[in-house]
Amino acid sequence: MENVRNLINITDLTLDEIDHLIEVADDIVANPTDYQDICRHKKLATLFFEPSTRTRLSFEAAMLELGGSVLGFSEAKSSSAAKGESVSDTVRTVGCYADIIAMRHPKEGAPIVAAQKTVVPIINGGDGGHFHPTQTLTDLLTIKRRKGRLNNLVVGLCGDLQFGRTVHSLIEAMLRYENVEFVLISPNELRVPEYIKEKMNEVGVKWTETTSLEEALPKLDILYMTRVQRERFFNQEDYIRLKDSYILDLAKLKLAKEDLSIMHPLPRVNEISVEVDDDPRADYFFQALCGKHVRMALILFLLGIK
């Protein structure tokens, strides 16, 4: 649809636009009353065909804190998808009721299809193993707030790097910043897909692969842990074999820098021991808060509200 901005992939945003969103997110924290009625009479629909806690609820909290309203569903079975309705028809209908739509769907590409069927902005809240751009905005804001920069960083990504859409989006975003090095830590079966490696090679970014978290830890500025995702496996035996490949605990953290930032998109299962939560380097709940601030900024941006 003409003149409508959507967010399907993080590369839909220029670096200047990402900087703008980060600035607005910081201004929202500094001057909350300036924003509390800014979306009055605007409605956000959250169409979640797949489970979510952070993405859906932070979008809803974001719209409510901007003075707007929310509607939607949190599982496919409570929508007419359960009766066989297509994503296209669902989105075309909801576009008659809401000013902006955030959606999550298990099928890769579903938000692209949706964006062709409605005149309201579509935000991809995660499509299968593909992309999760608002998680990436969350991650970039967290890194900027914790490190003061988005360049000159060694970023370790650990866990399920094959199916982890948050990892794919974060790599795509960060390879646009200067002097960022990636250390990819995963079991051999869950390595980053080839197309992501090709993208890193195209821009000449430095990256290495290892199966050892202990070996990688000492050089990292950021450690981005991820869950091995049961829902992406065809074979339960493989999931059980791989699910506890990496468990970050206080003993392992002795190998890390004092100013490491430990991130995780959450939900976590076993990959970060709860004893790590009180370590000053544990940033994953702060990250969840950043998600609300940056989604507020994104809603304003896509609605064209200054």
Residues carrying an active site annotation:
54-55, 83, 104, 132
Cβ-based nearer residue to ligand CP, 53 or 208: 53
Segment lying near ligand CP (by CB under 6 A), choices 48-56, 86-94, 147-155, 197-205: 48-56
Residues 6+ apart with CB under 8 A from 49: 75, 76, 79, 81, 87, 103, 104, 105, 106, 110
Minimum distance from residue 83 beta carbon to ligand CP (Å) = 25
CA distance linking residue 44 with residue 234, whole number of Å: 34
What is the number of helices (H) and of strands (E) in the chain?
11, 9
- Tell me the HSE value of 289 on the side-chain side, using a 13 A CA sphere: 9
What mask of x and - would describe binding to ligand CP in positions 249 to 278, judged by CB under 6 A? ----------------xxx-----------
Which of residues 25, 44, 45, 54 is near ligand CP by CB under 6 A?
Answer: 54
Plot region of 266 (φ>0 → left; ψ -120 to 50 → alpha; else → beta): left
Nearer to ligand CP, 288 or 302 (CB): 288
60/71 Cα distance (integer angstroms) = 9
Give me the residue label for tokens 């190998």: 255
Which residue among 55, 118, 162, 169 contacts ligand CP (CB under 6 A)? 55
Question: Which burial class, exposed, middle or buried, applies to 77 when counting CB atoms under 10 A from its CB (0-12, 13-18, 19+)?
Answer: exposed
Indicate whether 75 belongs to the interface with ligand CP (CB under 6 A): no
Count other Cβ atoms within 10 Å, centred on residue 127.
26
Least CB distance from residue 212 to ligand CP, whole Å? 26
Provide, rounded to whole angstroms, the least separation between the CB of residue 95 and ligand CP.
Answer: 23
Residue type for position 159: G
User: Taking CB under 6 A as the rule, does residue 285 contact ligand CP?
Assistant: no
Two tokens, residue 170: 């974060």
7 binds ligand CP (CB under 6 A): no
Kindly state the number of chain residues that form the binding site for ligand CP, as judged by CB under 6 A.
Answer: 9
Q: Which stretch binds ligand CP (CB under 6 A): 50-58, 73-81, 236-244, 249-257?
A: 50-58
Q: Does 9 bind ligand CP (CB under 6 A)?
A: no
Of 49-57, 193-201, 274-282, 296-304: span binding ligand CP (CB under 6 A): 49-57
Map tokens 């059980």 to a residue: 240
- Per CB under 6 A, residues contacting ligand CP are 52-55, 126, 135, 265-267
